[in-house]
């Protein structure tokens, strides 16, 4: 089997993917005033045409005043931005691809250096009214994704941004019904977001939720310290309407809990019975934080460990970030066994939109 297992079609209800490879969401921040350009449509369409099974867009934000931390992050609301996204999904479909937007709110991660557009206010605790409106705006963006013709959508619940700030005890110090000592109490905001999105998109539209234990603020932070805590975290989210859990790690081969070699996606699948996506340094020999430090990463051409886990049924899909950013044809090269043509990741490619 080996590499061929990555090329088995994947079906989940009415979602059909030609292979198991997902382009991971990667912020490019090149959407002038929040509107995705033709160049962005071309960038995604190029990867659709080169057989990426499912493309997840860069994080794209909901209609709330502080939802983005860089001006040129794309919006997922408003006529101009949504027209831009329509152009993107049409181009992806014309090239035989499938795609979902990653719907995002950055929470308390803005700084005035990042975002000199408006006078910055220090982030403050959201009122119940803010929370209600934020949930509504997530649902509106989700409905827009479906109406524009996207195949799935992903909610960004990872990496220390808004939804994750509710999950994590380090940032959620609320004393009302959106806070609490247990992870199931602190999950209430995410559960309400998922329920509102499910109500807005109906039963048949696939909802992916991206989660991580780690935060950009703290790599060693953990939300679930035991499989029991992971059950408390994930089961209410599944019951609220999540179809697929996208389990973000920096290195996919790292075990989640002592005593088992299952990774995060492996545990999430075992606990929820739902399909999962793994991610983290696939095809590369170093994790992605190096990219932000301006460092390149050597390619890796041995996929045995990845396919061993996939064939064992630990997860269903494999997201690939930097390798596909670097090389639009990465999937074709893997498929055709042209591993000698794979490229090292160069941090300079972050500035290029090709
Ligand atoms: C330039 C860049 C931008 C990223 N932006 C996002 C993002 O918008 N949303 C998100 O969930 N993850 C984001 N990530 C994380 C990636 O989705 C992925 O999890 C990470 O790069 C690990 O995969 P890799 O080792 O295959 O690159 C970003 C990563 C990179 C390199």
Predicted confidence at residue 53, as pLDDT, reads 98
Confidence of residue 117 (pLDDT cuts 50, 70, 90): very low
- The residue whose CA has the least distance to atom 14 of ligand 1 is 26
Predicted confidence at residue 1, as pLDDT, reads 58
What is the atom index within ligand 1 of the atom nearest the CA of 250?
Answer: 22
Predicted confidence at residue 286, as pLDDT, reads 83
Alpha helices in 116-242 (DSSP H): 128-148, 162-167, 183-186, 188-201, 227-240
Instruction: Quote the CA–CA distance of 288 and 281 in Å, as a whole number.
Output: 7
Q: Where are the beta strands (DSSP E) in the chain?
A: 10-12, 15-17, 21-23, 54-61, 99-104, 152-156, 206-212, 244-248, 276-279, 317-320
Identify the residue whose tokens are 């080996």: 2
In the chain, the number of structural domains is 1
- Using the mean position of ligand 1's atoms as its centre, give its distance from the Cα of residue 321 in Å: 6
What is the atom index within ligand 1 of the atom nearest the CA of 323?
Answer: 26
Confidence of residue 103 (pLDDT cuts 50, 70, 90): very high
pTM flag (> 0.85): yes
Q: Say if ligand 1 is within 6 A of residue 102 CB.
A: yes
pLDDT in tens, 255-285: 999 999 999 999 999 999 999 999 999 999 8
Instruction: Quote the CA–CA distance of 163 and 155 in Å, as a whole number.
Output: 9
Q: Which helix (H) or strand (E) holds 86?
A: helix 79-94
Predicted confidence at residue 119, as pLDDT, reads 46
- The residue whose CA has the least distance to atom 30 of ligand 1 is 26
pLDDT in tens, 171-183: 999 999 999 999 9
Candidate of 21, 26, 345 to mutate for ligand 1, largest count of ligand atoms within 8 Å of Cβ: 26
What is the atom index within ligand 1 of the atom nearest the CA of 282?
Answer: 26
- The residue whose CA has the least distance to atom 29 of ligand 1 is 26
pLDDT of 247 over the 90 cut: yes
pLDDT of 101 over the 80 cut: yes
Percent share of the chain, pLDDT over 70 = 96
What is the atom index within ligand 1 of the atom nearest the CA of 284?
Answer: 25
Q: Say if ligand 1 is within 6 A of residue 248 CB.
A: yes
- Using the mean position of ligand 1's atoms as its centre, give its distance from the Cα of residue 68 in Å: 16
- Using the mean position of ligand 1's atoms as its centre, give its distance from the Cα of residue 159 in Å: 10
pLDDT of 116 over the 80 cut: no
- Using the mean position of ligand 1's atoms as its centre, give its distance from the Cα of residue 161 in Å: 13
Q: Say if ligand 1 is within 6 A of residue 154 CB.
A: no
Predicted confidence at residue 111, as pLDDT, reads 67
| Cβ-based neighbour number of residue 123 at 10 Å | 13
Cα torsion 173, 25, 93, 89 to 10°: value is: 50
Identify the residue whose tokens are 């930097």: 322
What is the atom index within ligand 1 of the atom nearest the CA of 248?
Answer: 19
Query: Where residue 283 sits, what CATH number does that domain have?
Result: 3.20.20.70
Mean pLDDT throughout 121-148?
93
pLDDT of 86 over the 80 cut: yes
Q: Say if ligand 1 is within 6 A of residue 291 CB.
A: yes
Contact between 161 and 105 (Cβ < 8 Å): yes
Confidence of residue 8 (pLDDT cuts 50, 70, 90): very high
pLDDT in tens, 166-225: 999 999 999 999 999 999 999 999 999 999 999 999 999 999 999 999 998 888 999 999
Mean pLDDT throughout 117-139?
83
Confidence of residue 292 (pLDDT cuts 50, 70, 90): confident
pLDDT in tens, 307-344: 999 999 999 999 999 999 999 999 999 999 999 999 99
DSSP state of 160: T
Percent share of the chain, pLDDT over 90 = 88
What is the atom index within ligand 1 of the atom nearest the CA of 156?
Answer: 11
**What does the block give as tokens for 66?**
């502080």
- Using the mean position of ligand 1's atoms as its centre, give its distance from the Cα of residue 45 in Å: 19
Range of the domain at 130: 2-351
């Amino acid at each position: 089997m080996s590499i061929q297992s990555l090329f088995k079609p994947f079906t989940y209800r009415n979602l059909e993917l030609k292979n198991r490879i997902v382009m991971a969401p990667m912020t490019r921040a090149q959407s002038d005033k929040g509107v995705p350009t033709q160049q962005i449509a071309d960038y995604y369409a190029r990867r659709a045409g080169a057989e990426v099974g499912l493309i997840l867009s860069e994080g794209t934000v909901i209609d709330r005043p502080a939802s983005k931390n860089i001006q040129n992050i794309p919006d997922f609301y408003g006529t101009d931005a949504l027209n831009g996204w329509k152009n993107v999904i049409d181009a992806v479909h014309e090239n035989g691809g499938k795609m979902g937007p990653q719907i995002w709110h950055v929470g308390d991660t803005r700084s005035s250096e990042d975002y000199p557009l408006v006078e910055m206010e220090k982030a403050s605790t959201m009122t119940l009214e803010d929370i209600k409106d934020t949930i509504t705006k997530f649902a509106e963006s989700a409905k827009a994704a479906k109406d524009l013709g996207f195949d799935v959508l992903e909610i960004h619940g990872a990496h220390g941004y808004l939804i994750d700030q509710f999950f994590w005890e380090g940032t959620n110090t609320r004393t009302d019904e959106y806070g609490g000592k247990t992870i199931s109490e602190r999950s209430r905001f995410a559960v309400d977001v998922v329920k509102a999105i499910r109500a807005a998109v109906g039963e048949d539209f696939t909802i992916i939720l991206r989660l991580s234990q780690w935060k950009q603020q703290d790599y060693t932070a953990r939300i679930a310290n035991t499989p029991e805590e992971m059950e408390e975290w994930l089961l209410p989210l599944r019951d609220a309407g999540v179809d697929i859990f996208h389990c973000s790690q920096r290195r996919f081969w790292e075990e989640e809990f002592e005593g088992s070699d299952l990774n995060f996606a492996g545990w999430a699948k075992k606990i929820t019975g739902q399909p999962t996506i793994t991610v983290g340094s696939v095809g590369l020999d170093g994790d992605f934080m190096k990219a932000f430090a301006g460092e390149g990463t050597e390619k890796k051409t041995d996929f045995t460990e990845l396919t061993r886990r996939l064939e064992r049924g630990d997860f269903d899909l494999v997201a690939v970030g930097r390798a596909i950013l670097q090389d639009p044809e990465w999937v074709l090269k893997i498929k055709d066994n042209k591993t000698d043509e794979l490229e090292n990741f160069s941090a300079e490619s972050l500035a290029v939109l090709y």
